[in-house]
Amino acid sequence: MGVCAARPSPGSVERLLAACPSEKPGEVLTYSQANTADAGQAKVLIIDNIGLLNTLYRYGHIAYIGGGLGKGIHNTLEPAAFGLPVIFGPKYERFEEARQFVARGGAFVVRNADELSAVLLQLQDPGFYKNASRAVRKYLEENRGATEQVIAYLRKP
């Protein structure tokens, strides 16, 4: 299942619903209108509430992170924690983890719909997907304990 997030304004949710392909009723749902049975059958669940996305990544397969076509991307660490390959726009350079994910093959930069389609197609290959997922997990594993290291550094006289 894909997980799409939108600002919870009615207009943006409606635009996202219209943009998501659906062959049968119930394949694309909003979180606020879904029940447990519906959500389990959906191919795309549009999150139209605030504060849920970080807990919902566990159900996803690939994460598209917004903001990369504007001022800068949103959080990439949340989906990476679940091993999701990450896709975002070209304005990501201010974020070290995003640069690392791209360099390691776990994140992909897209500038338009054609590039997005190409990356999504690549990620359908099980081997390619597995390598991308491993890349984000490995980066997180290598950087585990960073908070403790910063605190230890700050406590030095």
- Residue-range domain boundaries for the chain: 2-148
To the question of pTM greater than 0.85 for the whole model, the response is no
Question: Mind listing the pLDDT tens digit of every residue in the chain (157 residues)?
Answer: 555 554 567 788 888 888 887 777 778 888 888 877 777 778 787 888 878 877 788 878 899 988 888 888 888 999 999 999 999 999 999 999 999 999 999 999 999 989 999 999 999 999 999 999 999 999 999 988 877 878 888 888 7
Q: Which residue in 119, 61, 57, 60 sits closest to 88, CA to CA?
A: 119
Sheet containing 63-65: which strands, arranged edge to edge?
A: 63-65, 86-88, 107-109
Helices 126-142 and 96-104 meet at what angle, rounded to 10? 140
Longest dimension (CA), the chain: 64
Beta bridge partners of 3: 45
pLDDT of amino acid 154 = 86
CATH superfamily placement of domain 2-148: Glycogen Phosphorylase B; (3.40.50.2000)
